[in-house]
Structure 1
């Protein structure tokens, strides 16, 4: 009997080992600005400059190690990022558990992007100068990432239905955070957490809705962010996403409607379009000073074209008015941003070169202003991109 029990235990351990695995992956990118226009304030002279950096402006190159472990019910994720000469913890460092098949709970540092609605294309994957910004979460934010650290609960009680909650547990909230770092229940669940629901309709698309609870305003008024989005997938090769968010406190001017569309014309050509707005925006009127009834907008379009031999071409152009870009309607506060380039793709990476430009000193490097203090010069740069994935 003892031998039978021992054999059974070994068999159980072997079965458990077979159902668990650890995987390793990596992604990285670096941009080398071969040449760009800049300005040296010490010499009061225009200069041509060069350096390396990331699409988002950080130290480069980004090299990384992503470690993931999983079994049927328990797992973890850990990202380690090398940025330039430094090594840091990356976007994810969490443990997850599935007490039942329909519920998955994440705990830790999170960037899992459940239900996030992006509008990423073109210059987003190069140097994000000018008005190229905010494309991640463009139509629906990362509500279930618990603001980067905390607990996220994602339930799929039936096919097509997703319910979730993102519970931040590291971001301070005034009197709701005690000296020992803990939070009051009301401070977390009524003034920090986000609650999300989504339903995927087969052959049509996905409906999303979120309620993001927020801390009270400085004058002790309640506020909540409400968001909704719809991703259309009913048409072959076409993806359209429309999203809106509004703060329920009428005194808080945080209202937006954004849209993104992507259409694969054929195997070679893909076109993109993006539109964004800021409604009832606070801005500085050039004649009347601060106002809170502004209309900010941005729109843009891009194309990707695939040639033989892994060669790819892209072009991207976007425009944002001054209220959207600079919270002002003064002259030279808007932004026209454009870029085009060519890439060579491989099985696990890409290299490429591009030209980018942005009006009104909208580039990576500072330019000299005119004698009257107006920033109306055109910024340009020539970036070379290395990117890999394993």
Structure 2
């Protein structure tokens, strides 16, 4: 995303001095429209890769001249039917301020996008950037490692070179006194999760260490403290342990692997993931061609009725990006998940994409292609997507996308 820089003079609050700050404005947008079939009717509509319609946005960020303080704020204008209302303007992925009391510590507070921690293990390619099919084991964003866990206070600590320690406390979700009105007593019917113990139980703790010329090792604990009552008995989820390794020791080859282990009682539900293993690899064959492959295996707490009474599932995908000529690139991929589809839920589903992306000037691109998915696997998990009418339907689409970036 390109950014426009504006130098502004800002008077320091309650002082007679002034300081200069660098303010950056940027935007990145994608909207996808076209024609498709839900297995029964040929339909038309507009969405984007993740659902909803976002025709405008503005990202603003500021940094003080000495690099000791700043902020980040996103405004989105969108028709977001996921939330049950029409066009609206709202704070987007980020809305936070930060300060660096010393070079080794940065403190931030507010709302964070999943990638703001710098820890999230992304591996995005192919249909992730088009109409995303339903048949994922884990999404391309956060494939091998979780990102931002909670809104609130984030402390990023770099005690030595190549080591990063990060703590996120969900203090934005806690209420003084446990009530939206502020400093009042918590009622008997409210479970505001606002005590100091609650906050630390729901916190996230992460660390990463980079070995130059080899890769980066990451580990984290993402607290949950989630209670569920089953047949009058209470059961608890404590949190998730996540470890990952990103390998970049071989030229043109990138490999990332991850593992997730959930600490919870079995009675939390059949849908609950007990453990998950994921991996992705990409190889830049030449300046014009790159191959990608990813996959995952998940073990659930119990046998799942919606998976044909199985307690595990796996998925795999592969894709290629090929520069046909300057400004014109081919995207193609195929993904497969082994269960969760068909009338009995014990069938698999194949999804595929073949499309081209054409750059338009220096700030935009157009994309057009063909996508399909089998056995009732829809495209885009949102009200603006294309769900299958019947569980064994073939869903297809001819998407046309517009992207702009400033």
- TM-score, L = length of structure 2: 0.80
Mapping for residues 353-368 of structure 1, pairs under 5 Å: 353-363=368-378, 364-368=385-389
What residue in structure 2 maps to residue 5 of structure 1?
Answer: none
Larger radius of gyration between Structure 1 and Structure 2: 1
Alpha carbons of structure 1 residues 212 and 38: separation in structure 2 relative to 1, 3 Å: closer
Distance 2:193 2:225 in 1: 16
Cα deviation, 1:161-215, whole Å, max 9, x if unaligned, reads 0001011134479xx98234682110011x2001011100000000000012221
Mapping for residues 175-324 of structure 1, pairs under 5 Å: 178-179=178-179, 180=182, 183-189=194-200, 191-215=201-225, 217-218=227-228, 219-221=234-236, 223-249=238-264, 251=266, 253-284=273-304, 294-322=311-339
Cα deviation, 1:320-353, whole Å, max 9, x if unaligned, reads 011xx46x99356422110110111242221010
Mapping for residues 101-116 of structure 1, pairs under 5 Å: 101-111=103-113, 112-116=116-120
What residue in structure 1 maps to residue 98 of structure 2?
Answer: 96
Structure 2 residue matching 1:211: 3-state secondary structure? strand
Cα deviation, 1:195-247, whole Å, max 9, x if unaligned, reads 01110000000000001222154325562311100000101111110000102
What residue in structure 2 maps to residue 4 of structure 1?
Answer: none
Structure 2 residue matching 1:297: 3-state secondary structure? strand
Cα deviation, 1:227-269, whole Å, max 9, x if unaligned, reads 1000001011111100001023463642100111111111000
Structure 1 residue matching 2:294: 3-state secondary structure? strand
Flag the structure with more relative contact order, 1 or 2, with Cα contacts below 8 A and sequence separation at least 6: 2
Question: Is 2:38 aligned against 1:38?
Answer: yes
What residue in structure 2 maps to residue 330 of structure 1?
Answer: 344
Contact 1:116 1:137 in 2 (8 A): yes
Alpha carbons of structure 1 residues 126 and 221: separation in structure 2 relative to 1, 3 Å: closer
Q: Which has the higher helix share?
A: 1
Contact 2:36 2:42 in 1 (8 A): yes
Contact 2:235 2:265 in 1 (8 A): no
Question: Is 2:115 aligned against 1:120?
Answer: no
- How many Å apart are 1:13 and its aligned residue? 5.0
Distance 1:213 1:314 in 2: 38
- Deviating more after overlay: 124-133 vs 245-254: 245-254
Distance 2:306 2:107 in 1: 50
- How many Å apart are 1:37 and its aligned residue? 1.1
Structure 1 residue matching 2:41: 3-state secondary structure? strand
Contact 1:285 1:330 in 2 (8 A): no
Uncovered stretches (5+) of structure 2, i.e. residues with no partner: 1-15, 80-86, 183-191, 229-233, 379-384
Contact 1:211 1:224 in 2 (8 A): yes
Uncovered stretches (5+) of structure 1, i.e. residues with no partner: 1-11, 40-45, 370-374
- How many Å apart are 1:47 and its aligned residue? 2.3
2:154 to 127, 152, 155: 152
- Deviating more after overlay: 149-158 vs 123-132: 123-132
Distance 2:244 2:304 in 1: 30
Contact 2:109 2:154 in 1 (8 A): yes
Question: Is 2:30 aligned against 1:29?
Answer: yes
Aligned residues: 351
* Cα-Cα RMSD: 2.6
Distance 1:332 1:290 in 2: 8
Distance 1:300 1:337 in 2: 9
Distance 2:274 2:363 in 1: 41
Contact 2:29 2:54 in 1 (8 A): no
- How many Å apart are 1:113 and its aligned residue? 3.9
What residue in structure 2 maps to residue 3 of structure 1?
Answer: none
Contact 2:38 2:394 in 1 (8 A): no
- TM-score, L = length of structure 1: 0.83
Alpha carbons of structure 1 residues 254 and 284: separation in structure 2 relative to 1, 3 Å: closer
- How many Å apart are 1:360 and its aligned residue? 1.5
Structure 2 residue matching 1:188: 3-state secondary structure? helix
